[in-house]
Structure 1
Amino acid sequence: MGKLWYGGKIYTLTEPNATVEAIYTENGSIVEIGNKVSLERRYKNKIEASYNLIGDTMYPGFVDSHLHIIGHGEKLTRLDLSPMTSANQVLEAVRNKQHQLEHGEWLIAEGWNENQWTNAKIISRWDLDKACPKNPVLLTRICRHAVIVNSKALELACITKETKDPQGGKIVRNEMGEPTGYLLDKAQDLIKQILSPISNSQLEKTTEVAIKDLLSKGLVGGHTEDLSYYGGFERTLQAYQHILPAKYKFRAHLLVHHLVFDDMIESGLSYGDGGPFTTLGAMKIFSDGALGGRTAWLTDVYTDDQDNYGIPIHESDRLEELVRKARKYDHPIAVHAIGDKAVEEVAKLIKKYPLKNGKRDRIIHAQIINKNVLSLLKEINVVLDIQPSFVSSDFPWVLERIGDERAPLAYAWRTFIEEGIACAAGSDAPIEEVNPLNGIKAAVSRQSDLDQQAYGETQKLSMYEAVSLYTKGSAFVINHEHDRGLIQPGYVADFTILSHDLFSIENYETIDEVTVKGTIVDGEWMYKA
């Protein structure tokens, strides 16, 4: 038995402005599209339900190509520092939160961003000691490449003046050599490795909270990287499998961090295993840090830190070793690379060790490139996993980091598309807001949320290009362009229904008024406004 969908504008995305009047679906797949009357006549004995969109607009289901689903759940359930505009606000929030904790319980908060503060000076351990003297405190920066902790946390982690910086990380110190509590990239692990593991029930609850929220944002799926952070590969995978599809239908494509890659192999699993709702993906590798903490790996020094090129997470031999390990199993890689030097090193390795099975590697972020890197990217089979919302949150402060000379090829989305380099788009939630409409707005407007100015206007995308990144692009990177990302016969019945027609919007400010009216996955309503 099947379902008929009609009564609104339905975009197929096969080409700009391509629409259809109605869709007939069966068993989670699109059977036929066309004229409503014709479909009703042809399938009159099979239609068990008809859904009138009542003038709303339907698109192929939006998919976030890069986020951290469980991390998003943590942001929803923890103290959220992202809206705060001063260090004093953060410290006051910590001061208030401590009264809800038991003695010795960790105070963990998410999302501080000094670039939104009136004074961008980083909080120190001593500031936190005054606000919360008895409990260990861990405040994660919005980029998740830096944390601030108090003295109690440093003491529990045995981090002292004598502790050496780990490879790929930095313990920031004062003029006396004392740790300030500010830990960059791999130095965070010195703290995180002593945290008590999350319980199974809390892990599943956090995951479920996140997925429910993602569905409410019009997302039918997401490519996520969580499997090494919450008690190991098997435990985290089981948390997903207990929820999907038993409680919700949502297409979670699960990148496998290199630290748990062996666990996957020992489980007898490989790329693409896990079924349509908990599918195992590429090996995830970090090659550098982030621009906010000046740890993204650049070819030339930071404009506002003339001795600093950023931090490579791995030594060159180790990075190559990880790529070779993936290739031993014909496995694609998904590498976090923000700075142009990081992108270059990863691209060289993809060129040296190309996939031969038709699967696709991805470089995640690729925020800063140069002309040589651009030429190299055109030579290899890679998809760039971009985050349009970074434009709205990073400008104008990022110009202080990279200077005017590098700006033309910063966040260069249009350049990638014009040069024929495949792209997909996501949010990197919880680092950015997960709402795909925010990313679409940023892609077409290039407007900063900090000063409402447009930056890099020559890199703006059309609305069709932007929406395609969240539909066709997300399908292409995981080799599902044949059955996802379009409204066509044989494709999955995954739909996002919005209150407005995005392709008719002339004033991009009004994108903020668009609401999600429904999310359909596998032909079933997973969210209805």
Structure 2
Amino acid sequence: MKQRTSLLLASLFSSLLVSGAVTADPVLIHNINGYGFNAERQLVPFTVMAFDDASGKVLARGNEALLQQYASARKVDGAGKTMLPGLIDGHGHMLGLGEYLNQADLRGIASEQATVAEVSRFAASQPQAPWVIGRGWNQVLWDNKAFPDKSLLDEAIADRPVWLVRIDAHAGWANSKALAAAGISKDTLDPPGGEIIRDAEGNPTGVLIDNAMQLVQRQIPAPTSDDKTAALQLAFEHLLALGITSVHDAGVDTGLADIYQQLADTSQLPLRLYAMLSAKDPELGRWLEQGIVDDPQDWLDIRSVKIYGDGALGSRGAALLADYSDQPGQTGLLVTQPDALTQIMQLTMNAGFQANVHAIGDRANRLALDRFEQLATPEQRLAGRHRIEHAQIVAPNDIPRFKTLNVLPSMQAVHATSDKNMAGDRLGVARLRGAYAWRSFIDQGSIIVGGSDFPVELANPFHGLHASVTRQDQQNQPEGGWLPEQRLTLTEALRSFTVDAAYGAFQEDTLGTLAPGSWADFILVDQDIFNIDPSQLWQVLPEQTWVHGQQKYKRNGQP
């Protein structure tokens, strides 16, 4: 296990870098429109930045005077482009993204029939594949807004099992062949934390919710280590092209963690990873006993655990304090039962790891907050920087508890614009007061860790910045924004994808600011985000992506 050098040595090393005592091959990028942050998280503009490409650290930022101070540096003309700190996705799923890029893409399709047609087309393109796998369907976009069933899938594909994961990864849709492979019949019991959707006669319809999904997923041939590595390479390339230089990977098992460590040890990670160990991993206890992995170079840090609270709102799996407004008698699902949640949170915090609890519904959020309050002292909570992942639907009187308990809301802005046409139906008007409540959290002093939850949503961080500022979709709807009182300023939104996301990973001293001594992780984009109409933010394109002072991506046609 790698352990971080002492803070004293790290501080000394940074001071030497900034003073130039141990620098080699400095690089100076000029003619740029740069934005970074200072120690107080305030926006800092600059037009020139110098960094040391040997160490990968920023040396200085400022104006044209640096051209004289670093007269011997290699000069790079930024061509007037806007520079931003490398963007951090505070909640994504790396392997899921890589696999999604190789599956049937069902995102945004407007009917069950059209979705099945796309699955059929995809299946015909892969005649040798033993299973037909896809992801991204969303019944909320269909006219009837109802869950599908297996009948159309059976008509289209009867000779191979078909498994299609809903956009939020909290429901799956199977044909009869897949149900048979899993042994699912009328007599199969719902597993704890899961539901087999049934018709009026009690027969499985083909849709499985949350933990019931595992019944089918266990039958799908497991990817090899080589398969996973190839999928990760696709994900790396995809993210770098979007301007993402660091990812908090939410739910990593031992097999994936081992691949990450091998890539890190052989200097093959092209971006930075903050890996959350999966609470479902049978080997979690071993990881906790061995202690945190805190890489001095910040390529791979492992010091947190992703703990699963409830399901998702779209599939009515989010655990609510009261019934769903559009389905009386249904209050959602607890993926981890309360006693087990208590146990795993206690084990995680006792081991000195950060506890990151997935909680979407107001009941799940309250359960997590109650345990943070009961299981840790104020000092332990402050040091632990524990998080609630998503924090989508929170009872208004629970929002202040995040600040009181030093719990960070890790939120994904694009969920609000994706869910706006469904959330009111699920929750009713009253519960929307605590829904996607970014402004409420910011105003009370909470630090929001921004992200996308890819591949649930598209990974493009500029979609998240746009949603944060406008509370609108890319068609500028609804007029004035959905729950517009919860909008963020652009500076606040950018912080959530840079220095504040870094704070959520104990990395604010080295990532997300472009301050002297931090890593030279930055992007050049085609528009000045602070001088365009906010409605255009989602259209911004990265032209170059640099990590550790090395160019990792350049858009075609750019010099």
TM-score range, shorter chain: over 0.9
* Matched position secondary structure for 1:491: coil
CA shift at 1:93, angstroms?
1.6
Q: Counterparts of 2:502 and 2:451 in 1: how far apart (Å)?
A: 12
1:4 aligns with 2:25: no
Q: Counterparts of 2:443 and 2:288 in 1: how far apart (Å)?
A: 42
Q: Counterparts of 2:201 and 2:329 in 1: how far apart (Å)?
A: 20
Aligned to 2:345: 323
Aligned to 1:461: 488
* Matched position secondary structure for 2:234: helix
Q: Counterparts of 1:97 and 1:481 in 2: how far apart (Å)?
A: 43
Question: What is the one-letter code of the residue matched to 1:36?
Answer: E
Residues 474, 538 of structure 2: 8 Å contact kept = no
CA shift at 1:248, angstroms?
4.6
Distance 1:356 1:116, change over 3 A: closer
* Matched position secondary structure for 1:221: strand
1:256 aligns with 2:277: yes
Q: Counterparts of 2:287 and 2:522 in 1: how far apart (Å)?
A: 36
CA shift at 1:499, angstroms?
1.0
CA shift at 1:357, angstroms?
7.7
Q: Counterparts of 2:415 and 2:209 in 1: how far apart (Å)?
A: 20
Q: Counterparts of 2:237 and 2:80 in 1: how far apart (Å)?
A: 25
Aligned to 1:501: 528
Aligned to 1:13: 37
Q: What per-residue deviation string (whole Å, max 9, x for no partner) do you get for residues 249-285 of structure 1?
A: 2001111011227357259643334562222131111
CA shift at 1:481, angstroms?
1.5
* Matched position secondary structure for 1:12: strand
Q: What per-residue deviation string (whole Å, max 9, x for no partner) do you get for residues 423-474 of structure 1?
A: 1100000000100000000000001358820210100111101111000111
Identity among equivalent positions (%) equals 30
Aligned to 2:152: 127
How many pairs align?
520
Aligned to 2:432: 407
1:57-456 pair list within 5 angstroms: 57-102=82-127, 105-228=130-253, 233=254, 235-244=255-264, 246-260=267-281, 262-263=283-284, 265=286, 269-273=290-294, 276-354=298-376, 355=380, 358-449=383-474, 452-453=477-478, 454-456=481-483
Residues 92, 454 of structure 2: 8 Å contact kept = yes
CA shift at 1:104, angstroms?
7.4
Q: What per-residue deviation string (whole Å, max 9, x for no partner) do you get for residues 325-374 of structure 1?
A: 11231211111100111001101111112236823111011111122211
CA shift at 1:483, angstroms?
1.8
Q: What per-residue deviation string (whole Å, max 9, x for no partner) do you get for residues 1-57 of structure 1?
A: 2111111111122365521221211111112222333x3333334x2x222111111
Q: Counterparts of 2:465 and 2:305 in 1: how far apart (Å)?
A: 27
Distance 1:185 1:492, change over 3 A: same
* Matched position secondary structure for 1:162: coil
Aligned to 1:476: 503
Q: Counterparts of 1:450 and 1:120 in 2: how far apart (Å)?
A: 21
Q: Counterparts of 1:19 and 1:104 in 2: how far apart (Å)?
A: 52
Distance 1:179 1:415, change over 3 A: same
Q: Counterparts of 1:444 and 1:21 in 2: how far apart (Å)?
A: 25
Q: Counterparts of 1:316 and 1:391 in 2: how far apart (Å)?
A: 27
Distance 1:456 1:524, change over 3 A: same
Residues 272, 281 of structure 1: 8 Å contact kept = yes
Of 516, 533, 538, 1:489 maps to 516
Q: Counterparts of 2:308 and 2:260 in 1: how far apart (Å)?
A: 23
Residues 465, 538 of structure 2: 8 Å contact kept = no
* Matched position secondary structure for 1:255: strand
Distance 1:415 1:178, change over 3 A: same
Aligned to 2:4: none
Question: What is the one-letter code of the residue matched to 1:405?
Answer: A
Distance 1:266 1:414, change over 3 A: closer
Distance 1:351 1:272, change over 3 A: farther
Residues 104, 136 of structure 1: 8 Å contact kept = no
Aligned to 1:30: 58
1:41 aligns with 2:65: no
Q: Counterparts of 1:393 and 1:140 in 2: how far apart (Å)?
A: 17
Question: What is the one-letter code of the residue matched to 1:515?
Answer: L
TM-score by length of 2: 0.89
Residues 393, 449 of structure 1: 8 Å contact kept = no
- Report the aligned-residue RMSD: 1.9
CA shift at 1:476, angstroms?
0.6
Residues 95, 132 of structure 1: 8 Å contact kept = yes
CA shift at 1:242, angstroms?
4.7
Aligned to 2:11: none
Gaps of 5+ in 1: none
Gaps of 5+ in 2: 1-24
* Matched position secondary structure for 2:491: helix
CA shift at 1:201, angstroms?
1.9
Question: What is the one-letter code of the residue matched to 1:3?
Answer: V
CA shift at 1:194, angstroms?
1.8
Residues 207, 240 of structure 1: 8 Å contact kept = no
1:528 aligns with 2:558: no
Q: Choose 14-23 or 210-219, whichever is displaced more.
A: 14-23
* Matched position secondary structure for 1:290: coil
Distance 1:277 1:261, change over 3 A: farther
* Matched position secondary structure for 1:92: helix
* Matched position secondary structure for 1:225: strand
Q: Counterparts of 2:282 and 2:176 in 1: how far apart (Å)?
A: 35
Question: What is the one-letter code of the residue matched to 1:155?
Answer: A
